[in-house]
Amino acid sequence: MLADYHMHIENGELATEYVLLYKEAARRAGLYDFGVSEHLHNLSEGPRLLGRETPAGVKTRGWDTDSYISVIRSAGAKVAIEADYIPECENELRSFIVAHDFDYVIGSVHWLGPWVFDMSTDLWEGVDVTDAWRTYFRTAIRAVSTGMFEIFGHPDVIKVFGMKPPAGFYGELLGLYEDLAKAAALTGTCLEVSSAGLRKPCKEIYPDIELLRAANRAGADISFGSDAHYPEHVAFAFDTISEFARSAGFSRAAAFSERKKTLFRF
- Size (the chain), residues: 266
Q: What is the pLDDT of residue 54?
A: 66
Residues 265/251, Cβ–Cβ less than 8 Å: yes
Read off the pLDDT of residues 56-82 as tens digits, 9 standing for 90 and up: 566 789 999 999 999 999 999 999 999
As a whole number of angstroms, the distance between CA 164 and CA 159 comes to 6
- Single-letter amino acid code for the residue at 210: E
C-alpha count within 13 angstroms, C-beta hemisphere, residue 256: 30
pLDDT (0 to 100) of residue 257: 97
Which pLDDT does position 219 carry in this prediction? 98
Alpha-carbon distance of 151 to 82, in angstroms, equals 9
Which segments of the chain have a pLDDT < 70? 53-58
- Give the rounded distance of the alpha carbon of 29 from its chain centre: 20
Give the per-residue SS3 of the chain: CCEECCECCCCCCCCHHHHHHHHHHHHHHCCCEEEEEEEHHHECCHHHHHCCCCCCCCCCCCECHHHHHHHHHHCCCEEEEEEECCHHHHHHHHHHHHCCCCCEEEEECCEECCEECCCCHHHHCCCCHHHHHHHHHHHHHHHHHCCCCCEECCCCHHHCCCCCCCHHHHHHHHHHHHHHHHHHHHHCCEEEEECHHHHCCCCCCECCHHHHHHHHHHCCCEEEECCECCHHHCCCCHHHHHHHHHHCCCCEEEEEECCEEEEEEC
The whole-number pLDDT of residue 57 equals 60
Sheet holding 151-152, edge to edge: 3-4, 33-39, 78-84, 104-108, 151-152, 190-194, 222-225
- Tens of pLDDT, residues 183-220: 999 999 999 999 999 999 999 999 999 999 999 999 99
Q: Which domains are assigned to the chain?
A: 3-265 (3.20.20.140)
> Which pLDDT does position 55 carry in this prediction?
63
